Amino acid sequence: MAGAATAGSVREALGASIDALSAVGVETPSLDAEVLLAEATGWDRAALAAGPEREVSPAAARIFGEMVRRRLRREPVAYIVGRKGFRHIELEVDRRVLIPRPETELLVELALELRPRTILDVGTGSGAIALAIADELPECEVTATDSSEAALEVARANAQRLGLAERVRFLGGTVPEGEEFALTVANLPYVAAAEWPSLQPEVTEWEPREALLAGPDGLDAIRALVPQVGTGTLALEVGAGQSGAVVGLLRDAGFVDLQTRCDLAEIERIVWGSRG
């Protein structure tokens, strides 16, 4: 990878980095190299594709080389560039919070369909769900909670930068005592302990473990939340193969009209129901 830090063409910089990333098992080496080179040069990916013989300046090559070295250590691209797109907003992210995933957008889509007056986002992390809802459903009162003060710092900073600080109330904890919400959404930890060793190093070595692991079957955090939710609708993101167990938890707690929704991989990813 030494050559990646020296001046050369776009084609040369990408070629060397793609080979190196492939060699360490990165799943999307071409995409990652393009994103990092675009970040280092200030050119978008379309410009890179249109000008493969364009010279990369020595300064940009040095920045790119350092980014690629970080990626070779399996640091996620979102942490390297410091941001991640989610719905129509862009969030700043670092190791204090999980990187927002596309499947989590299903919770936002459900909120847009139900159009409740009040929403609680439990375990907000970077603020992705709460801020996307606030952005797309301006008439809704949005509250977001997290047990991690470090995560709340990231979420509040994102709200400020996006001009949504007045639209979302951020609180420590889970469900605010004595309050009821028309819709509660939550992307809680749902990785089972036995699954942990099989996950990619981008997850196990870089993302916050406490935001991922949830006991022997991955349902400890969901079990703890369900009794705290009063009236209204509760919608949960769940892991592959967990929907049946979560439907059971909600039914036992008195929730009715239980439904599930699949992500693009046809995994039942969202479970929701109502009570009261």
Q: Write down the mean pLDDT value for the chain.
A: 95
Residue 2 has pLDDT above 60, yes or no: no
pLDDT of residue 131: 98
Q: Are strands 55-56 and 8-9 parallel, antiparallel or unpaired?
A: antiparallel
Residues with Cβ within 8 Å of residue 65, at least 6 apart in sequence? 1, 4, 5, 6
pLDDT of residue 6: 55
Q: Are 98 and 231 in contact (CB under 8 A)?
A: no
pLDDT bracket for residue 7 (50, 70, 90): low
Q: Are 105 and 112 in contact (CB under 8 A)?
A: no
For residue range 217-242, what is the model confidence (pLDDT) as tens digits? 999 999 999 999 999 999 999 999 99
For residue range 94-139, what is the model confidence (pLDDT) as tens digits? 999 999 999 999 999 999 999 999 999 999 999 999 999 999 999 9
Topology, domain 97-275: Rossmann fold (3.40.50)
Angle in degrees, CA 254, 259, 262, rounded to 5: 145
Tokens representing 132? 């996307």
Give percent above pLDDT 90 in the chain: 97
The angle, 0 to 180 degrees and rounded to 10, between the axes of the packed helices 58-72 and 10-23 is 10
pLDDT of residue 143: 98
Where do the H-state alpha helices sit in 101-236? 105-114, 128-136, 149-161, 201-204, 220-225
Give percent above pLDDT 70 in the chain: 97
Domain ranges in the chain are 2-73, 97-275
Angle in degrees, CA 204, 35, 42, rounded to 5: 135
